[in-house]
């Protein structure tokens, strides 16, 4: 893996700080490729969307096209999807995954799972429970890839006032999006927050924290506060990424200098 400028063990997991994002993407892609190879190609991966993993997916596609990395026997489960949303909508995470990864690798379509933003309201709970059962049936997640929201969310598990043990054990479910999340998503919806869906389906904290390894990425100064609170603050439902403290031995943080600037 490209060497980070700094590495340390923190209360929230192993922390790698890179001077620039490019080697960070390479290192993250290496960890995913290694997970797949270690499992003889049969890995089950939890994937994220958003601006953070775009470059990483480009590199993973290169690992496939030039390095012979096969996804034929890999299963993927995405963290979240807006609700309601059609998979044909340019802002759906289903389309994002198709454009940035699935169409560029050899993953069979029936192994690439994204929560369905078209299920009727009455079927949401059953669909979310089924998604978790599919993951279990696939042997559980070998690696969960995460970004972090400016408000400290992971997936769309938003800040709450629940007791931390409850907030860290939430099931996959429909969630109202936090105002900060909607403001940040507005850039994808023509700059208009009113066009951002009010809800999303999200993998719950319970399933995320159950993954056998967790790789969380953050770049840029806008993430610095959330990163510092998650890594150096107390475990708090106000900062869902702080739940990573509870599973620290299996967590890897890869962040750039800008995202590290609020760490003490
Ligand atoms: C996306 C997801 C979110 C994002 C987070 C950061 O699937 O689950 O938690 O990882 O909102 O988003 P970006 O990368 O756009 O800053």
Cα 214 from Cα 208, distance rounded (Å):
8
**Mean model confidence pLDDT for the chain:** 98
Tell me what pLDDT residue 90 has.
96
Instruction: Give the span between the Cα atoms of 177 and 32, in whole angstroms.
Output: 29
Q: Residue 5's pLDDT is what?
A: 87
pLDDT at 183: 97
Residue with tokens 């023509």, as numbered in its chain: 190
Residue 8 and residue 18: Cα distance in Å, rounded?
12
Atom 3 in ligand 1: residue holding the nearest Cα: 155
Taking CA atoms only, the protein residue closest to ligand 1 atom 1 is 49
Rg of the chain over Cα atoms, rounded to whole angstroms, equals 17
* Rounded distance between C-alpha atoms, residue 95 and residue 82, angstroms: 12
DSSP 175: E
Q: Is 21 in the pocket of ligand 1 (CB under 6 A)?
A: no
Give the pLDDT of residue 2: 86
153 C-alpha vs ligand 1 centroid, how far in Å? 8
For 174-197, what is the mean pLDDT? 96
pLDDT, one tens digit per residue, over 193-204 is 999 999 999 999
- How far is the C-alpha of 33 from the C-alpha of 25, rounded, in Å? 12
Ligand 1 atom at minimum distance from 48 CA: 7
User: What integer pLDDT is reported at residue 200 of this predicted model?
Assistant: 98
pLDDT in tens, 50-84: 999 999 999 999 999 999 999 999 999 999 999 99
Enter the tokens of residue 114. Answer: 């994204």
Q: What is the pLDDT of residues 118-147, one digit of tens each?
A: 999 999 999 999 999 999 999 999 999 999
What digits encode the pLDDT tens for the residues 82-98? 999 999 999 999 999 99
Please determine, for residue 1, whether its predicted confidence score (pLDDT) is greater than 80: no
SS3 100: helix
Once rounded to an integer, what is the mean pLDDT over residues 209-223?
A: 98
The CB of 13 under 6 Å from ligand 1? The reply is no
Ligand 1 centre and the CA of 185: distance in Å? 9
The response to whether residue 153 sits with its C-beta less than 6 Å from ligand 1 reads yes
Angle between helices 54-67 and 93-100 (to 10 degrees): 40
The span from the CA of 238 to the CA of 203, in Å, is 18
**Confidence band for 17, pLDDT divided at 50, 70 and 90:** very high
Share of the chain above pLDDT 70, in %: 100
Per-residue model confidence (pLDDT) at position 63: 98
CA 183–ligand 1 middle distance (angstroms): 13
Ligand 1 pocket member 80 (CB < 6 A): yes
Mean pLDDT of 175-190: 97
Q: What are 136's two structure tokens?
A: 């279990």
Q: Diameter of the chain by CA atoms?
A: 50
What pTM was computed for the model? Answer: 0.98
| Confidence check: pLDDT of 29 > 80 | yes
Residues 166 and 205: beta-carbon distance below 8 Å = no
How many A from CA of 104 to the centre of ligand 1?
Answer: 21
* Residue of 25, 45, 48, 91 to mutate, ligand 1, most atoms within 8 A of C-beta: 48
pLDDT of the residue at 191: 96
């Amino acid at each position: 893996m490209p060497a980070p400028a700094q590495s340390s063990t923190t209360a929230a997991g192993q922390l790698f700080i890179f001077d620039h994002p490019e080697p960070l993407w390479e290192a993250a892609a290496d960890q995913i490729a290694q997970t797949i190879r270690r499992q003889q190609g049969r890995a089950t991966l939890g994937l994220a969307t958003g601006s953070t993993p775009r470059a990483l997916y480009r590199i993973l596609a290169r690992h496939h096209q030039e390095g012979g990395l096969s996804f034929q026997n890999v299963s993927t489960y995405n963290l979240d999807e807006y609700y309601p949303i059609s998979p044909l909508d340019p802002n759906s995470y289903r389309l994002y995954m198709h454009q940035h990864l699935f169409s560029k690798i050899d993953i069979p379509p029936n192994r690439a799972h994204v929560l369905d933003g078209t299920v009727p309201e009455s079927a949401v709970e059953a669909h979310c429970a089924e998604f978790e059962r599919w993951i279990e049936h696939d042997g559980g997640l070998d690696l969960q890839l995460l970004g972090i929201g400016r408000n400290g969310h992971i997936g769309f598990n938003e800040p709450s006032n629940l007791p931390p043990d409850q907030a860290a054990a939430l099931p996959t479910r429909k969630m109202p999006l936090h105002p900060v999340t909607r403001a940040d998503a507005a850039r994808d919806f023509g700059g208009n927050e009113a066009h951002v869906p009010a809800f999303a389906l999200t993998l719950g904290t319970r399933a995320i924290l159950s993954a056998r390894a967790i790789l969380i990425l953050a770049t840029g100064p806008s993430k610095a506060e959330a990163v510092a609170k998650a890594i150096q603050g107390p475990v708090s439902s106000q900062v869902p990424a702080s739940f990573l403290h509870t599973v620290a031995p299996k967590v890897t943080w890869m962040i750039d200098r800008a995202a590290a600037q609020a760490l003490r």
